[in-house]
């Protein structure tokens, strides 16, 4: 009957409304939980910035290897360059680079073999590969970002791909020959 049809129609509408509301609710909750970590990674809060410094023992890093530490809740890469890598990084014409910097400007006097950078791609904030054993290091032997294919060289300088600038070198000091302190 026509009445029955109307009833079914209303039922259908009510059910759809309920489903729509449920879907919006789920999207809202999911969206917030995805967004919050991104925001906290990309814009560290005052608390995080004020956090105490990070100490890294570099004595176990072999030439040609890098390790990953955590500094202000973000990855920190510490790499020991080989003699060959130091020579190659120094031979690059820095003026021709997208973000012109020499190895000397990115390392400390007396410790040219130790490169300390944030492990945060300067494109959209992914963690580049190359700081763990067996990880892909990209075309220039330094770091490779799997998100959109940025390649960084052994001095952490952007050489290919969309990232606009070199991996950031944070404030740090050598507290001894085998320990660095970032922050
Ligand atoms: Fe690294 Fe886009 S976030 S290439």
Q: What confidence tens digit (pLDDT) does each residue in 135-167 have?
A: 999 999 999 999 999 999 999 999 999 999 999
**Which residues lie closer than 8 Å to 136 by C-beta, 6 or more apart?**
129, 130, 144, 146
Which mutation among 98, 123, 127 tests ligand 1's pocket best, with the greatest number of atoms within 8 A of CB?
A: 123
Asked if 148 is an active-site residue, the reply is: yes
Which mutation among 147, 151, 159, 160 tests ligand 1's pocket best, with the greatest number of atoms within 8 A of CB?
A: 147
Nearest CA to ligand 1 atom 4: 148
Give the separation between CA 121 and CA 1, rounded to whole angstroms. Answer: 65
Give the separation between CA 67 and CA 30, rounded to whole angstroms. Answer: 33
For the chain, residues with pLDDT lower than 50 are: 1-10, 12, 21, 25-26, 28-29, 31-32, 37, 39-40
Lining ligand 1 with CB less than 6 A are: 121, 123-126, 145, 147-150, 161-163
pLDDT of residue 141: 95
Tell which atom from ligand 1 comes closest to the C-alpha of 126: 3
**Which residues lie closer than 8 Å to 85 by C-beta, 6 or more apart?**
64, 141, 154
Tell which atom from ligand 1 comes closest to the C-alpha of 161: 4
- Output the CA 97–ligand 1 centroid distance in Å: 18
pLDDT of residue 6: 45
């Amino acid at each position: 009957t026509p009445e029955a049809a109307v009833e079914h129609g209303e039922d259908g509408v009510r059910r759809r409304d309920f489903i729509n509301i449920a879907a919006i609710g789920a999207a809202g909750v999911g969206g917030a939980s995805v967004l919050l970590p991104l925001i906290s990674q990309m814009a560290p809060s005052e608390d995080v910035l004020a956090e105490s410094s990070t100490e890294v023992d570099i004595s176990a890093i072999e030439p040609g290897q890098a390790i990953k530490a955590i500094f202000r809740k973000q990855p920190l890469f510490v790499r020991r360059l080989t003699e060959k890598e130091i020579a190659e990084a120094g031979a690059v014409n820095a003026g021709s680079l997208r973000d012109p910097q020499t190895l000397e400007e990115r390392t400390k006097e007396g410790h040219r073999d130790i490169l300390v950078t944030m492990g945060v791609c300067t494109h959209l904030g992914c963690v580049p590969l190359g700081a763990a054993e067996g990880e892909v290091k990209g075309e220039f032997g330094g770091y490779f970002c799997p998100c959109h294919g940025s390649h960084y060289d052994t001095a952490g300088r952007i050489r290919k791909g969309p990232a606009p600038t070199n991996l950031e070198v944070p404030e740090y000091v050598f507290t001894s020959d085998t320990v660095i302190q970032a922050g």
